[in-house]
Structures are given as structure tokens and as C-alpha cells.
């Protein structure tokens, strides 16, 4: 069964002020058989301002076809710097892992084989849980008794540091324009890797112009120093946000709309005059994210032809990650 939505919070548990009726969800891709499967939680990127369409369905289907039961996490974001997110996305992913592990029998998954796969800011979120999982308490005592530690993490062109190689916009979305240094230090994840951090697979392109490649190097170095099993692949060419790096990604296929729910609800609230933003901002959001009409093509013809030449190299990450997971889990 593909596409089933499950809200991860009850309304009374969820209080992010910029939600405008949105509640984070998991969208599941479940095999309809009697087998027990490993689980993959896909966490798209988007600078903590959107949940990217291009890193959701295509990634989920790739792991589904590799025999995983897959859950795409549509977590809380901050599209217009309305309310700093602070720890809300980390609470979201923590609850999702607890929910999946706590319902392992229902979801037909192995509770000791739950991996997370995050892209860009989604990679930061997965890495945040990987290093800070002990800190995150759940308001529901039933879930709080269930471990929220991932059993492995795949980090694709991840935001890692708030230091010199930072992706500044991600940290503005989390903490606002004037964050406390202690918050930035807490979310500079290379500083918090310990022996309890789960095994990590990192990949990025050397030519990434959005999130400097130093981010993945910093985290890989921290894993090495802490004795955490890891793999680190840097591909010679490619842009930020290459997702599965296939022809479908390049041609912008598989852009399922379910990741856009919070932005749609925010836009509708703006158009109703319920926010401090002008109505044209709501219209611009709907257009920018391809909700009210098709978004313009992302690549020029020359850019597309260049990217087509590197798809095979960069796309190898999918096979490498699955082989690595099989070795880590000895399956």
C-alpha cells in the first residue's frame, strides 16, 4: 500500500504557532505481503523552509523496490520566517521513529533495522537525531518508553555545521536572525558525535555550491574520531539536491504534492487575511512551489545536458548505500 498518511501528533500535542492547521505526517510505502522488512524513513530537505518534493516519492520508491517498508516524513518547516522552529522538527522525527518502532508488528518491520535517509536540511535533521536522540523526550509516556535512536543514517549532501561552512538559511529558519551561540553550538552536529551515534553513510558532490562539501567531511571526521562505523563518498561533479540522481529526477517526475501541505495551508491563511503577510505573498508561495500552477523548469538545456553526464556517477550512491546497510546489519 502506497500513499497512506498518518499524523504523528494528536492536535493537543502539537503547538507550533506557524502551522496554520498543519500536523506533521508520515506517508507510507508498505509491501502488502507477510514478510518482515527493514524500515527506511525518508526525510526530504528544503532549508527547513519546505519539504522538497524531489527528495520524497522518488527516494521512497527506490527503497521500496529494494524491499524496504518506507515512510516519508513531512515535518514542520518555517517557509517565511514566521516563527522560529527551534526543536520542533527534531521532536517530529523523534516521534516518527518511536511510532514506527512501537508499531513494528503492525508495520511489518524489524524494530532493530530502522534507518533514516535525509537530504540537505533533512540530512541535518537525521544527523541531529543521531547525535541528540538521548535528549529528546516524548510527551506521551507510551512513546517515551520506545527508543528513538535510528539504527543507521544515510546523510545526503547534509547541512552539518553552524560554523564557517554553514548553510546560514537553515539556522535562521531554526532560530531566527539573532540566535544564541549555545543553540548554534548544539546544532553544529560535528561537535556531538559519540560512540552512541548510529552508523552513518554520507555522500555529496565536490562541486556543491549550496551546502559546502566541508559539511560532510566534518561529520565523517567526527565519526572516525568517535569510532562510529561510517562510509563517506564524494563524487567529482554535480549540483546540490540531486536526490536519486536519475533521469526521473532530472526531468522532474515523481513530484508528489503531499510534501507541500504546510505551505498550502500557510498560503490559504495568508489569502484569508489571517497573517501579517500581504495577500500577494500567499499567491507567490502557491506559484513558487508549483501548487497553483506548474513551476517553471529548473534547468536550462545546457545545464540539463551537463547533469545528464554525471547521473551515472552520482546515482551510484543508491547501490553503495544499500550494500553498506546490508553489511552494517549483516543481512
Residues 11 and 19: their CA atoms lie apart, in Å, by: 11
Say if CB 119 and CB 44 are below 8 A apart.
yes
Q: Which cell is 323 given? A: 550494500
Q: What is the DSSP letter of 26?
A: E
Say whether 86 sits in a helix, a strand or coil. Answer: coil
0.75 exceeded by pTM: yes
pLDDT of residue 89: 98
> Nearest CA to 118 among 86, 153, 149, 85?
153
Q: How many angstroms separate the CA atoms of 115 and 149, rounded?
A: 9
- The CA R_g of the chain, rounded to the nearest whole Å, is 19
Average pLDDT over residues 220-231: 98
Cell 545526503 maps to which residue? Answer: 156
Cα 317 from Cα 70, distance rounded (Å): 18
Per-residue pLDDT averaged across 261-280, rounded? Answer: 96
pLDDT tens for each residue of 56-102: 999 999 999 999 999 999 999 999 999 999 999 999 999 999 999 99
Q: What is the DSSP track for 211-254?
A: S-THHHHHHHHHHHHHT--EEEEEESS--TT-TT-SHHHHTT--
Q: Give the max Cα distance, the chain.
A: 55
Q: Render pLDDT for 226-238 as a digit per residue (tens, 0 to 9).
A: 999 999 999 999 9
Q: Which three cell numbers stand for residue 270?
A: 495568508
Provide the pLDDT for residue 192. 98
Query: Mapping DSSP to helix (H, G, I), strand (E, B) and coil, where does residue 112 land?
Result: strand
How far apart (Å, rounded) are the C-alpha atoms in residues 89 and 235?
A: 29
The domains located in the chain, with CATH, are: 2-256+314-329 (3.40.50.1820)
Q: Which residues contact 68 (CB under 8 A, 6 or more apart)?
A: 37, 38, 39, 40
Task: Return the H-helix or E-strand segment holding 203.
Answer: strand 200-205
- Residue keyed to cell 534547468: 299
Sort strands 200-205 and 25-29 into parallel, antiparallel or unpaired.
Answer: unpaired
pLDDT tens per residue, range 125-181 = 999 999 999 999 999 999 999 999 999 999 999 999 999 999 999 999 999 999 999
Amino acid at each position: 500500500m502506497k500513499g497512506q498518511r498518518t499524523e504523528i501528533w494528536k492536535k493537543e500535542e502539537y503547538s507550533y504557532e506557524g502551522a496554520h492547521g498543519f500536523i506533521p505526517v508520515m506517508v507510507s510505502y508498505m509491501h502488502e505481503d507477510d514478510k518482515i522488512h527493514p524500515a527506511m524513513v525518508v526525510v526530504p530537505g528544503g532549508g527547513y523552509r519546505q519539504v522538497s518534493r524531489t527528495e520524497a516519492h522518488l527516494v521512497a520508491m527506490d527503497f521500496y523496490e529494494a524491499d524496504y517498508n518506507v515512510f516519508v516524513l513531512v515535518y514542520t518547516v518555517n517557509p517565511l520566517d514566521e516563527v522560529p522552529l527551534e526543536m520542533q522538527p527534531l521532536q517530529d522525527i523523534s516521534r516518527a521513529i518511536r511510532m514506527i518502532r512501537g508499531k513494528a508488528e503492525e508495520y511489518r518491520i524489524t524494530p532493530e533495522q530502522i534507518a533514516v535517509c535525509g537530504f540537505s536540511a533533512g540530512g541535518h535533521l537525521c544527523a541531529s537525531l543521531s547525535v541528540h536522540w538521548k535528549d529528546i523526550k516524548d510527551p506521551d509516556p507510551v512513546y517515551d518508553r520506545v527508543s528513538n535512536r535510528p539504527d543507521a543514517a544515510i546523510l545526503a549532501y547534509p547541512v552539518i555545521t553552524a560554523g564557517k561552512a554553514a548553510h546560514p538559511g537553515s539556522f535562521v529558519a531554526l532560530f531566527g536572525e539573532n540566535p544564541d551561540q549555545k543553540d548554534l553550538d548544539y546544532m553544529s552536529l560535528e561537535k556531538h558525535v559519540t560512540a552512541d551515534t548510529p552508523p552513518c553513510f554520507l555522500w555529496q558532490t565536490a562541486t556543491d555550491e549550496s551546502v559546502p562539501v566541508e559539511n560532510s567531511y566534518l561529520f565523517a571526521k567526527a565519526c572516525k574520531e568517535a569510532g562510529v562505523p561510517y562510509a563517506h563518498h564524494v563524487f567529482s561533479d554535480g549540483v546540490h539536491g540531486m536526490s536519486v540522481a536519475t533521469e526521473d529526477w532530472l526531468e522532474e517526475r515523481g513530484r508528489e504534492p503531499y510534501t507541500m501541505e504546510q505551505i498550502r495551508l500557510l498560503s490559504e491563511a495568508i489569502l484569508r487575511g489571517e497573517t501579517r503577510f500581504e495577500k500577494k505573498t500567499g499567491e507567490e508561495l502557491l506559484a513558487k512551489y508549483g501548487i497553483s500552477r506548474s513551476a517553471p523548469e529548473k534547468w536550462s538545456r545546457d545545464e540539463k545536458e551537463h547533469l545528464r553526464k554525471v547521473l551515472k556517477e552520482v546515482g551510484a550512491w543508491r547501490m553503495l548505500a544499500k550494500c553498506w546497510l546490508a553489511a552494517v546489519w549483516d543481512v
